[in-house]
Amino acid sequence: MDKINYSEVVQTVIKGHGRNCLNNNTEVQLIFDTERNRYQLLHIGWEGLSRVFGCIIYVEIKDGKIWIERDGTEIGVANELVEAGVPNQDIVLAFHAPYKRKFTEFAAS
């Protein structure tokens, strides 16, 4: 069985969230640095008089594993990656402290 192309899977998952975040007042930006394996989804704009600028998803691929640094989704990027065929042991929930990661069903590092 061929190894899954993690870069393509991560981009597909993030693009799906980009389509779901559209509205008239703010903009969703997808930033894919395929050379350094860094991927993010930003929410930018104005809601009334308030500035909106935030990172919804930030993922890096390091040492053959997918490191989820920020996940502001309800379903969970890790769950979507598993559904796409990525093994749990290749996903690190980097937004958890290192000592807590061993208590998840995903990789500690």
Q: What is the CATH number of the domain that holds 46?
A: 3.30.310.110
Does the residue 21 lie in any domain? yes
Is 89 part of a structural domain of the chain? yes
- pLDDT category of residue 62 using cuts at 50, 70 and 90: very high
Q: Is residue 90 domain-resident? A: yes
**Residue 17 in domain:** yes
Q: Using CA atoms, how far apart are residues 90 and 68, in angstroms rounded to an integer?
A: 11
pLDDT tens sequence across 9-47:
999 999 999 887 666 778 999 999 999 999 999 999 998
| Average of per-residue pLDDT values in the chain | 93
Residue 53 included in any domain? yes
In the chain, the number of structural domains is: 1
Q: What confidence category does residue 1 fall into, taking pLDDT thresholds of 50, 70 and 90? A: low
Tell me the average pLDDT across 74-97. 96
Q: Which of 73, 77, 75 is nearest to 93 (CA)?
A: 77
Domain residues for the domain of 56 are: 6-101
Q: Is residue 78 part of a domain?
A: yes
